[in-house]
Structure formats: structure tokens, C-alpha cells
Chains A and B, each alone.
Chain A
Amino acid sequence: MVFHATLQGERYRFDDLRTLLARASPLRSGDELIGVAAADPVERVAAREALANLPLRAFLSESVIPFEQCDVTRLVVERHDAAAFAPIAHMTVGQWRDWLLGHEADAGALAAIARGLTPEMVSAVSKLMRNQDLIAVARKVRVVTAFRNTQGLKGRLGSRLQPNHPTDDARGIAAALLDGLLLGAGDAVLGINPATDSIETGMVLVRMLDEVRQRYDIPTQSCVLTHITNTLAMIARGAPVDLVFQSIAGTQRANESFGVSLALLDEAHQAARSLRRGSVGENVMYFETGQGAAISADAHFGVDQQTLEVRAYAVAREYAPLLVNTVVGFIGPEYLYDGKQIIRAGLEDHFCGKLMGLPMGCDVCYTNHAEADQDDSDDLMMLLAAAGVNFLIAVPGGDDVMLNYQSLSYHDILTLRSVYDAAPAPEFEHWLERMALLDGRRRVNANAPLSLPGFMDPRD
């Protein structure tokens, strides 16, 4: 299908839906890299005009990646819920944007349409929204999940405690873990990115995390973020696996480059559920995504990186995950060049994920070759907290010494809790209270006990 728009006396033509979406997307380096970005700002706005006039139904008859070539497209088509789509079936993308912002579109109305949405519809509408729109709509959506605590409740802000170490040294990791727990982080997950691919190392780390959790009776979950096949092997060997992690992307080919398939995800989902380790819920999957992933795997089919990102969410929602986060600035300036692009992408990913029904979190981060710094991270974390993000990632001092990038600090999470009057998951908050880590105003105590009894005692 060919699309046209006339703007300022000039007529623009867009050859197919994929091209229209790409030209309408806010400027970012990844789309420039693969040559799909709008040639100039006027063409971009013309594409938005054409997109605004497009009926949502059009997305049910045209795919950006052919059905025959991609199992993600097939999944989207097979899972589309026509009844859920019905309330918005008569709208154009532009009308739907206004409907989403309307006061009648409350949490219930938004949850009701989630299964009727395709990733391309969601991507399209995000391209017609300003940053404040992305925040205003996302904060209306509530996605609650649970394992050993409850994530995503109103007035709550979760955090992943990420105690990475460049050589996976268990004592080094424990030191960073203690630091985070004493600062009240870690209700979303205690999650380590291991430096090696080794199953043995994974076993050591997952056991260590589980021992700490049990010894202090911490109502949280742990995860070693290794390849899904390693996690399956660890489960087979009796490791105490709470959550199964995997990086996923929005095309079959990109997922193949990650060594994953829908069948493998099914298998791991069933394996983790069969362990029945959750106490208050059964959401056992943890996914990470990020704009640019499919481009870096050379598996983009000429589709803009933001649309591909939302397609990854269609994969994620098959598995009722506890946590999903975009690692928004990690992949580098060739995909998101500067703070402006990273901030916009973070808000888009959160909005699109929430609208698709996912428990969206974010790794607010940047690399040292991106045009960004901690001020940009401050901006994005504040905006995401305003948007009701489920959880954010935090590392000691904001400096990840294994992955060599900057994320948020445990301190940043405290700042957000104060500014937005938000608390961690209720079960975890009670634990902080029990451990005397909160002061009279329920803030993490600046003069907290300097250890958990029996943990590696910093006074030793």
C-alpha cells in the first residue's frame, strides 16, 4: 500500500507501511545508519500527517515484515484479539492518539484493549505523541506482577540491584549486594550480569544469591542474567533459579542471532514455573530489550528501530514476565546518539511496553562514547518515575565496573522515592522496616546498621 501526504505545498509519497513508520519516527542515529530516517524535518512531519490519517484496521492487513519470513509477525497475527480491538477498531491512528489522552481512557479501558493491539499500531501512535503524552498515558496504565513480592502497584517504584563484578568474584559481588540492600534497593530483583558464559559460575552465583535471600528472609527474587540455555542447564542441575532471563528482539532473525526461539522461551517458561518458587505470584520471566538490537544483528528488514523494539514486546507478553526493561542507552551512539535521543527512546519504550500490557522497567544508562552524561540520566529517571515506571536498575555509585557503562546509583532510587513519594514493593518495604533500615519517616536510614547480621561485616 502506498501512502501520500501534502505538506507546505509539497507532495510526499511513502511506498509502504514500513517506510511510513520509519519516516514518521523521531530522529535517531540507528535509523540514519540503515538509511530509513526521514530526509528532513518536513518529510518527517508529512509522514506523521499520513500516519495520523491511517485507519488502525490497516495494521491488520499489512505487516512490516512478511508473515512467511518472521515468527514474530506470525505470533502477532495469531494472537490478535478482535474483541479487545473492537472499541478502537473504527479509529485512525490520529484519533486513537486523542482517545488515549482522553480522561475516559482510564486504567480499565487501557487494559481492556491491550490484547487487541499490534506492535506496529502502538509504535505508530507513539510517533504522534510528544514526550508529555507518552508520560500522561503510560501513568494511567497499571501492570501488576508478582513472585515473592508485588511489582507495579500504584505509589510504588521497584529497583533492580545489579552488583556486577568484572571477574564474577563472589565476595566482590557480595560487597556490592550488601551496599545496595543497606540502601534499600533490590525489590524488583537481585540481578547479576555474569562476566563469563560459564554454567559453573552461574551456579555459584545463583546459589550465593539464594543463600543471602534465605538467610535474611528477603521477600525478593534473584536472577543470574545468563543465556537461557545456561539457565535451563542450571535448572536441570538443581540450581535455585527464581527467574529466567533472556535478551529478546523484534524479529525472528535477530532472536536467532541471540540463540533463542519461541520454542526455547516456552520450554524455559515451563521449566521455571514447574519449580514453584514464587510465594505471592507466578511470573517467572525477565526480559531485556533495547532499540538498535535488531540493527546490530543485521536483522532489521528496513524497519525503524523503535517499531522493531515494540515487536520485541509482542514476544515478551507471551510469557507473562515479572519484569521487562529496555536497556535504553547501552547499545551506543550509533543507535541513540545523545541524551535527547536516549530520553525520548526511554519514554517511548516505557509507554509502548505498558500499552502492550508489560511490567515495564528501564535501565537508565549511557556509554562513554554517547553524547550524554549523568544529567541526562537524571532527566530520564525523573520522567520515567513520573510516568509510573515499574522499576529501574541501580548499581553502586552509578558505575557498572563489569559492563563499563553508567546506570543509576542506589542513591538515585532514594531520590526518586523522596521526590515522588514512592515506596518499594510492599513486602520488601516491610522487610526494610523489620531490618531497622527505615527511619521514622519511612526513608532509608542514613545511619542504618552498617551490616546485616552475619553478612560480610564491613566492621571486620
Chain B
Amino acid sequence: MTDTRAPDLPRDPWAALRGLTHARIGLGRAGDALAGADVRALQAAHAAARRAVHATLDPARLSLPEPFIEVRSRAPDRGIFVRRPDLGRRLCAQDAARLPHAPCDVAFVIADGLSALAAARQAPGVLEAARAALPEWSIGPVIVAHNARVALGDEIGALLGARCVVMMIGERPGLSAADSLSLYLTWDPKVGRMDSERNCLSNIHAHGGMTHDEAAFRLAWLLRGARTLGRSGIALKDDSMTAHLPPPAP
């Protein structure tokens, strides 16, 4: 193809601006439409996000150093799971009955959420860093939860007898990161807790997101704040996130 642009222009005049945003700026045109390469790049990113949504969590490949307990929600498969958030918030009866009573300061749940990929890639590393950051805390048995929404942690935490539950859950995949993890901390977990009673750390991933160490560091801050206040949620966020949060990790 002939380049009809003025000769003094560089080949990609957008190169400098691309550093300012991940947005897909300066894409090519074919007539009115996007250039074919840009169409395929978007399709590739979407395909990766779709794969993450429909992936299942394989606990054998999580390389967890300790034994873990596997549980399932009331949503029997991924198709029903995305349609019925209510089913993803409760344990199936069989698994609810066999969860042990194991009182502890904090229980960690590795949950697929909307990206099993995120749980598999980020959760073990965050868990390891969190253990190191919480030497004085008793930590309950690690739970691996399938077809899980955030609120499933409430029932798990209550059955275990945990003072606090941390859901390590895959976020809704975006095109720039299909493997981004969130941590939701809920003090005194029980069925019926509202979202305003939780604290969240999000965007934990390797593409410019929060690192595992930084996430663990911030989580430890929030956990100590929750223990002092005796609750989590909006009140804790105001106290801890603004006043006491350490500077971002280097």
C-alpha cells in the first residue's frame, strides 16, 4: 500500500501518546472500519477473557503447600453460575454439612469468581505473602471454592468459626487483564452480611496491577484495623485506607 501521508511525518505518529494510556488509540482504518490487525487483537483479548470466565479451578495445580478443603456453591455449572449470583452465594448442602468447625483468627478462601485463572495465578502467592505478614494470627484451613461469589465466604467463615474471612476471588475479566484477583475481607462473617460491611483490595495482577507482596501488606493493615474496630466495611476504609495506609510498596 502506498503511504500517502506527508513525508515529514513519522510512520506511527501515535507512538508517543500510547505511553499515556492502555486505551486502543491511533488504530488503523480500512475504509471506515478498524484495520484487520486491530480487529484480531481485540478478538484475541476477548477470547482470553472468555476462557478465563469459563475456566474451572483445578486445586491440584494450585501448588498449595498445605492440605485444603474443596467446597462448591449451589450453582452446579458455569452457565448457571453467571446467571444466578444468588446460587453462588450459598454452599451446596452437602459441603455445608461437611465443613469442620475450626475456630481461627482468619480463614482464607481461594475462589474462582469470574476468573478461575486469576485465582490460580495470584491466590497462592498472595496467601504465602499474607502468612508471612500475619505471624501472630491463627489461620484456618485453606478453602478452595467453586462457582463462588464474594458472599459465599460469609457462610464458610461462619461454619468454620473464623473471626474474619478473606475471599481471594477472580474478578470479572477485562481485555487488558483476564487474571486479576480481588481480596474481600469480612469481619465476623455470617450469612446476610452486606457489601458495605466488607473491605476490598482489587487489581492484583502482573500487568501493572498490585503485586502479591503489596496486596498482603495492605491486607495485613486492614485485618489489624478490623480487629481493633471489631468490624470491617465503610468505617474501616475511612480509618485505615486514608490515615494509616503505608506508602505504596516500591
Contacts and interface: CB of A to CB of B under 8 A. Distances in A.
A169 B50 CA distance: 29
Contacts of A368: 46, 49-50, 52-53, 172-175, 178
A334 B175 contact: no
B23 A397 contact: yes
A370 B20 CA distance: 30
B61 interface: no
B168 to A, nearest CB: 19
Of the listed residues B15, B17, B22, B42, the one surrounded by the most CB atoms of chain A closer than 10 A to its CB is B17
A175 B16 CA distance: 10
B99 interface: no
B232 to A, nearest CB: 20
Interface stretch (A81-89, A231-239, A356-364, A403-411): A403-411
Nearest to A460: B16
B70 interface: no
Given A368-B174, A401-B176, A172 B21 contact: yes
B84 A33 contact: yes
B45 interface: yes
Interface string A118-152: 00000000000000000000000000000000000
A229 interface: no
Query: Chain B contact residues: over half helix, strand or loop, or mixed?
Result: loop
B20 A406 contact: no
B243 interface: no
A443 to B, nearest CB: 7
A386 interface: no
Contacts of A163: 23
B46 A33 contact: no
A451 B26 CA distance: 11
Contacts, number: 134
Interface string A346-388: 0000000000000000000001111001100000000000000
A284 to B, nearest CB: 28
Contacts of A33: 83-86
Given A333-B83, A414-B32, A450-B13, A396 B5 contact: no
A460 B21 CA distance: 16
A33 B29 CA distance: 42
A16 B39 CA distance: 49
B63 interface: no
B86 A165 contact: no
A334 B53 contact: no
Given A401-B23, A404-B172, A369 B16 contact: no
A175 B24 CA distance: 10
Contacts of B15: 458
A395 B33 contact: no
A171 interface: yes
B20 A396 contact: no
A53 interface: no
B42 A169 contact: no
Given A397-B42, A399-B45, A176 B25 contact: yes
B9 A399 contact: no
Contacts of B20: 169, 171-172, 174-175
Contacts of A417: 32
B94 interface: no
Interface string B1-40: 0001100011001111110111111110101111000100
A370 B78 CA distance: 12
Contacts of A333: 82-83
Contact of A175 (B4, B23, B49, B82): B23
Interface in A2-36: 29, 32-33
A171 B23 CA distance: 12
B13 A458 contact: yes
Interface in A276-322: none
Contacts of B21: 165, 169, 172-173, 175-176, 401
Given A333-B83, A411-B33, A447-B5, A404 B175 contact: yes
A398 interface: yes
Contacts of A447: 4-5
Contacts of B14: 179, 458
B43 interface: yes
B114 interface: yes
A415 B173 contact: no
A178 B26 CA distance: 9
A173 B25 CA distance: 11
Closest 5 A-B residue pairs measured CB to CB?
Answer: A397-B24, A404-B174, A172-B21, A414-B32, A368-B49
Given A456-B17, A460-B16, 12 more contacts: A166-B22, A176-B23, A368-B50, A368-B173, A399-B175, A411-B27, A411-B32, A414-B29, A414-B33, A415-B33, A418-B32, A458-B17
10 contacts: A165-B21, A169-B21, A175-B18, A333-B83, A368-B53, A368-B174, A374-B43, A401-B176, A458-B15, A459-B9
Interface of B: 4-5, 9-10, 13-18, 20-27, 29, 31-34, 38, 42-43, 45-46, 49-50, 52-53, 82-86, 114, 172-176, 178
Interface of A: 29, 32-33, 163-166, 169, 171-176, 178-179, 332-334, 337, 367-370, 373-374, 395-399, 401, 404-406, 409, 411, 414-415, 417-418, 443, 446-447, 450-451, 456, 458-460
